[in-house]
Amino acid sequence: MSTERSLTHFIEIFLRARTSEGVRKSTIGQYKDNFSFFIEYLDRKSMCTNDISLITREVIRDYINWMLYEKIRFENCGVFMPDYSKTVGISPVTANLRIKTLKAFFNFLMAEEYVIKNPCSGLRKVREDQSEIRVLTAEQLRILLSAVSKSSYASYRDYVLINVLIDGFTRISETLLIKTNDIDFNQGVIVIAAGNAKGRKSRIIPLKKRTMNLLKNLLNKNEKFSSDFVFLTDNGEKMDGNRFRHRLREYVEKARLNVRVHPHLFRHTGATIYLQNGGDIRHLALILGHKDLRIVQRYTHPSEESIKKQHNAYSPLNNLFGDDEEV
């Protein structure tokens, strides 16, 4: 029987077990990233990783405090991230995701009887601010799209990608995995394969004829490459999400939009506008890939203008003084 007790040894056991259970590569990649983040903390604090039993609840709590109040965001991104983005402390949401991996890890070690104490037992989630997500308006979307020149292959690809994200409410991760044979031009839909979907269930995404034509034009431009993926780099390789996020920030700056825009915001914005236009929430749930309508409602955000219209139409004062009676 092995006497190896190091943290890295048990991480390898955990990753092999999760891989054998059919966990997706992207999830394994997230596990590895979160473990690397934890090991970085231990190294910075000169803590020993040779004995798993030295990882106590106090160590985990100190790790949480380091993430929230000491860690410099994007400090390893170099010139690709402006200095003003390198603030102190990661978000509570991100911290909870990091800790979620450690909880799964130590739960596994307890179940397999590798350890007798779980340092994550009893740890509460970091309280997350319920800040409102401000979706983009139709005018802001038009301004942003107009900032994409479409004069080069890369800019045209980005233009098509943004249109697909808005029209199909898709996640950036699954969109970048779309292949040529996932597109049905006759039916006007794209198929998100089960292996690429977050819930591991395939779904059909209907798109407007305009969006389908954009995809058809992009595929024509892709003929010089040998890849089956739809969204490619100038070298014909599959587009990377971080590369697109970097380019998206450039478009936002060019458009002079004073808002934080990220790929997932297109999903929120598209779903919100869909409902405001009279779309049915049950059909929206199918497109988004959610069974629970309560989850769908988290993706929808009534605009300030629509809230004002609703209030003006249904205010109780209408019963007393009529609609906008002058004082």
Mind listing the pLDDT tens digit of every residue in the chain (327 residues)? Answer: 346 899 999 999 999 999 999 888 888 999 999 999 999 999 999 998 899 999 999 999 999 999 999 987 766 665 555 555 567 888 898 999 999 999 999 999 999 999 999 999 989 999 987 666 688 999 999 999 999 999 999 999 999 999 999 999 999 999 999 999 999 999 999 999 888 887 778 899 999 999 999 999 999 999 999 999 999 999 999 999 999 999 999 999 999 999 989 999 999 999 989 888 888 888 888 899 887 777 777 766 676 677 777 778 878 877 777 766 565
In a domain, 62, yes or no: yes
Q: Which of 74, 94, 112 is the last residue of a domain?
A: 112
Domain count, the chain: 2
Q: Which of 78, 112, 146 is the last residue of a domain?
A: 112
Residue with tokens 């100038």: 234
The pLDDT assigned to 307 comes to 75
Q: Which of 53, 77, 112 is the last residue of a domain?
A: 112
20 vs 16: CA distance, rounded Å: 6
Do 157 and 305 lie in one domain? The reply is yes
Do 80 and 172 lie in one domain? The reply is no
In a domain, 1, yes or no: no
Q: What is the DSSP letter of 195?
A: T
In a domain, 327, yes or no: no
CATH number of the domain that 193 lies in? 1.10.443.10
In a domain, 192, yes or no: yes
Do 308 and 163 lie in one domain? The reply is yes
Q: What percent of the chain has pLDDT over 70?
A: 90
181 vs 144: CA distance, rounded Å: 29
Q: Is the dihedral of CA 182, 186, 189, 194 positive or negative?
A: negative
In a domain, 31, yes or no: yes
Range 121-148 burial, b when 16+ CB lie within 10 A, else e: eebeebeeeeeeeebbbeebbebbbebb
Do 69 and 163 lie in one domain? The reply is no
In a domain, 117, yes or no: no
Residue with tokens 């909880």: 103
Tokens of 20: 């054998």
Residue ranges making up the domain that contains 300: 138-313
Do 274 and 176 lie in one domain? The reply is yes
Cα-based distances in Å from 265 to 92, 278, 290: 19, 20, 17
In a domain, 319, yes or no: no
> In 3-state terms, what secondary structure has residue 229?
strand
205 vs 189: CA distance, rounded Å: 5
Do 90 and 146 lie in one domain? The reply is no
Do 247 and 145 lie in one domain? The reply is yes
Q: At what angle do helices 92-111 and 7-20 cross, to 10 degrees?
A: 90
91 vs 82: CA distance, rounded Å: 18
The pLDDT assigned to 1 comes to 39
Do 204 and 242 lie in one domain? The reply is yes
Do 83 and 222 lie in one domain? The reply is no
Do 175 and 291 lie in one domain? The reply is yes
Residue with tokens 């104490």: 117
Do 205 and 97 lie in one domain? The reply is no
Cα-based distances in Å from 192 to 57, 75, 158, 184, 185: 41, 34, 19, 12, 15
Radius of gyration of the chain, Cα coordinates, nearest whole angstrom:
24
92 vs 94: CA distance, rounded Å: 5
CATH number of the domain that 94 lies in? 1.10.150
Do 156 and 287 lie in one domain? The reply is yes
Tokens of 318: 């209408």
95 vs 53: CA distance, rounded Å: 23
pTM (global) more than 0.75: no
In a domain, 118, yes or no: no
